[in-house]
Amino acid sequence: MEITEIDEVKISKAIIETYMKDLLDATETEVAIVGAGPAGLTAGYYLAKKGVKTVIFERKLSVGGGMWGGGMMFPRIVMQDAGREILEVFDVPSQKYEECYWVSDAVETVSTIASKTIRAGTRIFNLISVEDVMIREGDRIHGLVLNWSAVGLANLHVDPLTIRAKVVVDATGHDCEVCRIVCNKIGPKLATETGEVIGEKPMWSEIGERAILGNTKEIYSGLFVAGMAANTVFGSPRMGGDIWWYVIIGKEGG
């Protein structure tokens, strides 16, 4: 195939115009998920499949959270039967290691889940961080305050922009960033024993992965928590992954 004349400015216009169209559309959404790790991606997939307008904001360049690196940079993911059922929804292959233990390739898993989530209709915006939340009448979260991640890294004084969302999901992993912002701004009003982020306990995968079933819930009006962030908020043990979030969204409707 013959290469036609290349116009660099036209390429720039194509990038700017198409991106800005998507970003403008994202300023009004039904669900805004913060964090494109396994929990955030999977939530985005199931919500989009149900026709819910959903966007995901990820502060890093890459999506997938810590899943890329597997365990200590061995790119393998180990799951039990419940987790494997969900990966089968995404057509991610796995191999049996021994009874009740399955192994999949971390890179293939993240790539496949991210692709299926986008194709389901959820838009993912990387390199964007959440600076604040918008709380309006009835003490309910109504949206997010956003800025480029590079602005924060460079410690620049640049005003942010805002988006409106009916529901926000904190899927930021161990940091549970959105929940901490709420506590810092309005005090201990989360649906925990102390009203604050309790903090995760030491690793105990069996207990932690069971606890996440009950911890995935609305933590403040209009704010839900998912994945490892759910266990951090409620003070449950750390576990090996976010696979139980898949089960809740997939089997209980989100």
Tens digit of pLDDT for each residue in 81-138? Answer: 888 888 999 999 999 999 989 999 999 999 999 999 999 999 999 999 999 999 987 7
Q: Whole-model pTM? A: 0.94
Give the other-Cβ count within 10 Å of 141's Cβ.
21
Residue 240: predicted pLDDT = 66
Do the beta carbons of residue 48 and residue 21 sit within 8 Å? no
Cα–Cα distance, 223 to 32 (Å, whole number):
10
**Domain limits of the chain?**
8-249
CATH placement of domain 8-249: 3.50.50.60
Cα–Cα distance, 121 to 105 (Å, whole number):
25
pLDDT band at 246 (very low <50, low <70, confident <90, very high): very low
pLDDT at 199 over 70: yes
Do the beta carbons of residue 233 and residue 215 sit within 8 Å? yes
By CB neighbour count within 10 A (0-12 exposed, 13-18 middle, 19+ buried), where does 9 fall? exposed
CB environment 224-240: b (16+ within 10 A), e (fewer): bbbbbbbbbbbbbbbbe
pLDDT at 242 over 90: no
Question: Taking residues 16-30, what's their average pLDDT?
Answer: 98
pLDDT at 244 over 50: no
The rounded percent of the chain whose pLDDT value lies above 70 is: 94
What tokens appear for 66 in the block?
Answer: 């810590």
Residue 252: predicted pLDDT = 41
C-alpha closest to that of 176 among 187, 186, 190: 190
Distances (CA, A) of 219 to 6, 109, 115, 201: 52, 29, 29, 19
